[in-house]
Amino acid sequence: MLPSQKISRSRTRSRRAHHAKRPPNFVDCPRCNSPKLPHAACDNCGYVRPGLSLEVKKED
């Protein structure tokens, strides 16, 4: 079935107005204060939560 009428560019673009990408949300690591993603291990020190940390290998 074909559309009965053409949808204008303005109506299409208004509908897609909320589809824009958002910048990633960063939080400061409580241990080393470097930026990290929330709910993820810190890339710098490996801190996850109190009592748990991951070993981070440094690349040359």
Going residue by residue through the chain (60 aa), what tens digit of pLDDT does each one get? 888 999 999 999 999 999 999 999 999 999 899 999 999 988 888 888 887 766 767 776
10 is a domain residue: no
17 is a domain residue: no
42 is a domain residue: yes
3-state helix, strand, coil in the chain (%, to 5): 20, 15, 65
What is the total count of domains within the chain? Answer: 1
User: Considering just the CA atoms, what is the radius of gyration of the chain in Å?
Assistant: 22
46 is a domain residue: yes
32 is a domain residue: yes
33 is a domain residue: yes
Domain extent, residue 47, equals: 26-60
pTM greater than the 0.75 cutoff: no
